[in-house]
Amino acid sequence: MRYLGIDYGTKKIGLAFSDEEGTMGFPFDIVPNDSQLSDALSLLIEKEHIGGIVIGESRDFAGNLNPIADPARALGEELMERTGVPVHYEPEMLTTQEARRDFEGVHSHKRGDVDSSAAALILTSYLDRKHG
């Protein structure tokens, strides 16, 4: 089964896809977080035959949900309602920082590279935990 990984941000959403076997996440793209987001993601989910969605769950170091967690969860609920595809949440602590480290010393990287790489890290973390 193929999964879609989402790194939710207030301005941009990082996206990643898993392989067909659902074992590893790979960076895909970024999309703007605007009024067209739900439509764009719903179309992508249908086009790519996505069977599961994994959204990063933002928490602080004490384990409390960050303010961005509520709109991310609202997106997940809307996508599940629109597409019927199950949505899972994966802790995303420090994934953006980890993704940014992957690009240290690379002058040509764009912010989207980091966002989609963070989505791939979130997705891979979920898949690793799921497959034990």
Q: What is the pLDDT of residues 46-60, one digit of tens each?
A: 999 999 999 999 888
Place of tokens 């898949």: 127
Lowest mean pLDDT among 54-58, 77-81, 91-95: 91-95
pLDDT on residue 98: 53
pLDDT on residue 92: 85
- Cα separations (Å) of 35 from 14, 25, 39, 46, 50? 16, 26, 8, 19, 22
Mean pLDDT of 57-79: 92
What angle, 0 to 180 degrees and rounded to 10, lies between the N-to-C axes of helices 111-131 and 95-102? 120
Q: Which amino acid is at 64?
A: N
pLDDT on residue 60: 82
Report residue 107's pLDDT band, with 50, 70 and 90 as the boundaries.
Answer: very low
Predicted confidence (pLDDT) at residue 3 exceeds the cutoff of 70: yes
Q: How many alpha carbons lie under 13 Å from residue 83 in its C-beta half-sphere?
A: 26
DSSP 8-state secondary structure symbol assigned to residue 22? S
Name the CATH superfamily for 2-131.
YqgF/RNase H-like domain (3.30.420.140)
